[in-house]
Amino acid sequence: PTNHHWHQSSATPEQTPPRSQTLCTRREAYERAFPLYKQPVEVGCFSLDSQRRFFNDSRQMRYYVEPDRSPNFDLSDGYRGRYVKRDENVKEKLDHILRWIVANRSKLKSKLSPDASCPLDFDFVTWRGHLTKLLTTPYETREGWLLAVTRFNGTLYISEVETEAARRERENRPERNQEMMYWGYKFEQYMCADKTYSEPDPSGVVNTNEAFCTVVQTRLTDHKLLFSGEVDCRDKDPDAPPPPACYVELKTSAEICTPKQRSNFHRFKLLKWWAQSFLPGVPRVVAGFRDHDGIVVSVETFQISKISQLIKNEYNCWKPTVCMNFCCDFLSFVKREATEDNPSVVYLFSWEPHKDVTYSVHRDSQYSFLPDWYIKEMTC
Ligand code: A3P
Ligand code: MG
Ligand code: MG
């Protein structure tokens, strides 16, 4: 087996390599063949309405509308007056996914019997966004993360905890950054219609409580995964392929004027965009390039499958295989270390840039995140 990424404290006489309580995040340790990643399959979806209420259906689905070649969208329009912002102080943890699991448990096959969902036939349940953070970890130099893990009925639930640094940054976000966050959502409003037959309505309110989420299952080597992620919109063509292949991710980015800007776009933006969409099998990103005043000057489509080719000319650039191998080894590390099956125990995995992943164990603490209603429902 390849153990070159494990920290070896000292030479040991045993045949088996020494097990470390830490996991290395250096890119060189993950440069090996691309791991098996099964084509993600959508097993369901859910919606969150303008008041962030859960619905076990696709009512918040939106449809992609091809824009003009030079669209001139004003992304600041409505920032003062037509903006309802989700309350970021409310920590939803895995609650919406757990509600979806409870509502759809009869559709999910069990490890023991094909009729019951107890225990779940998944090794991991989490948000796509948490997996995106894992994929980009070997290349991240600025922001660390905290991931709470609980083993319950054999399944490992992974839920992010906001770091102190992230909370401070959020609470001290400059006004300009607040407005730039709005730009991304405003772009979605310019590009999406509520119905297959309707047009976008830029005169409406931007409400960031609203979301349509896909739930997908897949496998990364021997890790069976169930995760959910927000989807911006879908192809409205009734002959489009079934989900997730019909989904479209929307993004905004500063317009590219210099070779340096192009290089940075390849190195940083495309890494994040690739990781986010590759995981659920979303095949394309439609990007709006905007100037300093938030005016979209051009729109370009990126096929996720072509991104690794696009970046190959970049010196010392990120590699998809490193991202996937690190994620895979992190999940193996979690499986090996988070052994106690107990909904009130949290293994808190912690990472800071330029360091190894470490963890601590917490019993009946502030970190416990599986709600009583879920434990009750899933205890068979
Ligand atoms: P952009 O994608 O244009 O940056 P998503 O792209 O994942 O659908 O997210 C929609 C928008 O939410 C983003 O638009 C951005 O404005 C905002 N957003 C998402 N994640 C963010 C983050 N970590 N920090 C700041 N803004 C974020
Ligand atoms: Mg989105
Ligand atoms: Mg988007």
Token couple for 185: 């959502």
pLDDT tens string 189-201 = 999 999 999 999 9
pTM for the full predicted model: 0.95
Is the CB of 133 inside a 6 Å radius of any atom of ligand 1?
no
The C-alpha angle with vertex 67 and arms to 61 and 73, in degrees rounded to 5, equals 95
Neighbours of 193 (CB within 10 A): 17
The protein residue with its alpha carbon nearest to ligand 1, atom 22, reads: 181
Two structure tokens written together for 184: 């991304």
Ligand that comes closest to the CA of residue 184? 1
10 CA to centre of ligand 3 in angstroms: 47
What pLDDT does residue 358 have?
Answer: 98
The per-residue pLDDT for 117 is 60
pLDDT in tens, 272-299: 999 999 999 999 999 999 999 999 999 9
Residues by chain with Cβ below 5 Å of ion ligand 2: 230, 232
Question: Which pLDDT belongs to residue 278?
Answer: 99
CB 232 less than 6 A from any atom of ligand 1: yes
Nearest CA to ligand 1 atom 18: 181
pLDDT of residue 3: 37
User: Partners of 159 in the beta sheet?
Assistant: 148
pLDDT of amino acid 116: 57
Q: What is the pLDDT of residue 15?
A: 72
Q: Give the per-residue pLDDT at 9.
A: 43
Phi, psi of 357 (to 5 degrees): -80, 135
* List of the chain residues with pLDDT < 50: 1-11
Beta bridge partners of 240: none
Ligand 1 within 6 A of 185 CB?
yes
Instruction: Using the mean position of ligand 2's atoms as its centre, give its distance from the Cα of residue 332 in Å.
Output: 29
Q: Which atom of ligand 1 is nearest to the CA of 129?
A: 7
| 139/323 Cα distance (integer angstroms) | 8
Provide the Cα torsion 303, 309, 314, 316; round to 10°.
110
